A and B are shown apart, each in its own frame.
Chain A
């Protein structure tokens, strides 16, 4: 049996989005041999590293929202969810087994490529803890952040501060590398508060890319050189920490591994957004896997290969998850509440493109150039560090490519940049593409979506459908 998708006697059912209870039933058909097949940190086979478990397992340990989501019914998706859901345990096990655990914050995609090039080092993003309050339907981390001085005025990413304080969501990092500068301003504030909880933060400046102001190529070169110099500091600090001198070959190998992931995610985007063979929820989880590979790039790579094989098989067989008349939508800014994606699909929507502010983690890194220069060059494409107009251009491109009929912008309550960008994106899309836009702030964590949001989504989808005939 291959680790990437050949699953012996087990065969996926017809593709469908299924409920929590339906996964409970389906899991009874998964043979024990398959459960024993998949482990993180390969080739490790310790019993604690198995991860092919159903949503029921993670619900018992507090992930209450899982009971309300809908999931892809493929074995590859089960692997995906099992792997992602046990990342906390994986990080602690990493530490227990002698790996260095590095918290990377704010840059969303570049620095983990460097970290993972070091032997026995892995990077993770505390930033991604922002989903935890939603997945657990819990205010614990947000309340903790409030207690530490960051309240509702700040976006849900403040959950990361709560997690640092709790020391129960990831082990104490060997090092925290925090990007600041042209990153999310709310999150920069969180990083500053985290700095007071940990022994050391290595601050990394990321430059603003400012094409809109007609900067010269020399300006771009300067920004690129600044990034390279910052990455050199990262390498130097990691070498000090690990006592290992990073070779060019090791960095190139790290870049190759990252590129392999990026290529597969690009392929999955083509298949999912072009043909509708994977749900929007799993695709969001997949896209965010580009940031730090859920703390185990080797196993994440095999899971992606399994997903690609599943998606391609569906494409070949003409199997689709959505009705042919589903409303084609671009989603801008990742929804903190994953239930939103399920709801939109339940109501007849289909996501055909995304602008989750993480495109920098998707751009291939040139393998023929010196490593740090190539990583910096790749990062310079980041929507994170550019103007709103450039994010809008990415929306336009996808909207045209996939004949989108509408755009949803899910802002973050308290996220100061969201308040400004959401309005601008809405205006530009309406004016220049003539597409209807639904813009809303995601409500705080809870068991259900708030009624106002669902009513607006319903009305929006109805509006888009009415334009087809009108």
Chain B
């Protein structure tokens, strides 16, 4: 008992403020509707991680170990609350047969879609350990999880069926098909959905949390009617699968999604990641149903000064943290590769300060109404 020789009372509630939560603890509280010490912070750092860690882009998206190394480096450097495994949205399409080229210092470029026309389906479902670069993501997830999985959530971005399908055929043909050959588009979406789900399962097995990304379903690309008729049902199918595992599902759609915000909430996603929309509107419209992630403009993050970034982040967080179901301070889309480090640092520091919970720590103890003292 000698190790307790110090007089009792040396611990005070004030000292608990020196016991910060880990990102995993923070996220864990968010998803069960509990207050956190501060809002979680998620600038969507993807390929920028390669730039920051001195890894070539081609190595980043073709070598899982390099992707993990870059992500671990940036998570630690900036003090963000997540690791975001992602390079681009073509990976499932590529695994199904679409061809990409791999520039040394740029992201993969779609070279030739699997089909030029609609209506040319086969029975194939991807093998995530073997096809295309899916294995890169799985390796990255495994490495990152081994390194930091106890303290930081590992997110792996999975392109949604609509975005994947659009890269399996000629893009223009696909968009015209929404009007001219809707049944063939739906069949293609079913085809893509099977492989997206198969990949999602592999991501789950690798202990990463899948994030569904559907940028080509954005209101900047298609109408709300087409979103509802085509993209949404396939998103719902994937989300239903993820809910079999009780996962907290993030749906990310870039661009202007104002017109489809209610529909996005109807997808069943637990967290909506939004981009070029008014955050206060999103809070009003879906804040009672969904946690929100967003949404600093990424061009601003890239080109503005650190001081300007801080100002905008502070305003954004003040709006977002009022969301009834919870909020994650984030960028609206991917952090541009060449974004200055000081701007990202400004984002994180400001979000942490502005997102601090004034009742933390021990707010709930005090609110319990019990009188201090021994029984």
Contact = CB atoms under 8 A, between A and B. Distances in A.
Interface of A: 21, 24, 28, 32, 35, 48, 50-51, 53-54, 56-57, 59-62, 64, 67, 88-89, 92-93, 96, 136-138, 140, 144, 147-151, 153-154, 165-169, 171-172, 174-175, 185, 189, 192-193, 195-203, 233, 237, 416, 447
- Chain B binding site: helix, strand, loop or mixed by DSSP? loop
Contacts of B364: 167, 171-172
Interface of B: 1, 3-4, 6, 8-13, 15-16, 18-19, 21-22, 24-26, 28-29, 32-34, 145-146, 149-151, 153-154, 201, 204-205, 207-209, 244-247, 360-362, 364-366, 368, 370-375
A168 B25 contact: yes
A57 B375 contact: no
A60 B4 contact: no
Nearest to A101: B368
Contact of A64 (B6, B33, B207, B362): B207
Contacts of B10: 149, 196
A211 B22 CA distance: 48
Given A92-B32, A193-B4, A196-B11, A60 B370 contact: no
Q: B6, B12, B207, B372: which has the most chain A beta carbons within 10 Å?
A: B207
Nearest to B361: A167
Q: B34, B153, B201: which has the most chain A beta carbons within 10 Å?
A: B34
Nearest to A82: B246
B11 A148 contact: yes
B374 A195 contact: yes
Contact of A57 (B11, B208, B247, B373): B247
B98 to A, nearest CB: 27
A189 B204 contact: no
A53 B245 contact: yes
B204 A60 contact: yes
25 contacts: A21-B205, A24-B201, A35-B244, A60-B208, A60-B245, A62-B24, A62-B28, A62-B153, A64-B145, A138-B151, A140-B151, A148-B19, A166-B25, A167-B361, A167-B362, A169-B25, A172-B364, A174-B368, A189-B1, A192-B4, A195-B8, A199-B368, A200-B370, A201-B374, A202-B375
Contacts of A53: 245-246
B205 A166 contact: no
Contact of A192 (B8, B244, B375): B8
Nearest to A185: B1
Q: B19, B21, B201, B247: which has the most chain A beta carbons within 10 Å?
A: B19
A175 B373 CA distance: 12
B24 to A, nearest CB: 5
Nearest to A234: B375
A196 B13 CA distance: 8
A199 B11 contact: no
B13 A197 contact: yes
Nearest to B364: A172
B375 A237 contact: yes
Contacts of A92: 32-34
Nearest to A193: B11
Nearest to A447: B146
B242 to A, nearest CB: 10
Contacts of A140: 22, 25, 150-151
B8 A196 contact: yes
B28 A61 contact: yes
Contacts of A193: 4, 8, 11
B247 A60 contact: yes
Nearest to A162: B19
B21 A62 contact: no
A174 B370 CA distance: 8
A168 B364 CA distance: 12
A64 B19 contact: no
A24 B205 contact: yes
Contacts of A50: 246
A203 B374 contact: yes
B144 to A, nearest CB: 12
Nearest to A196: B11
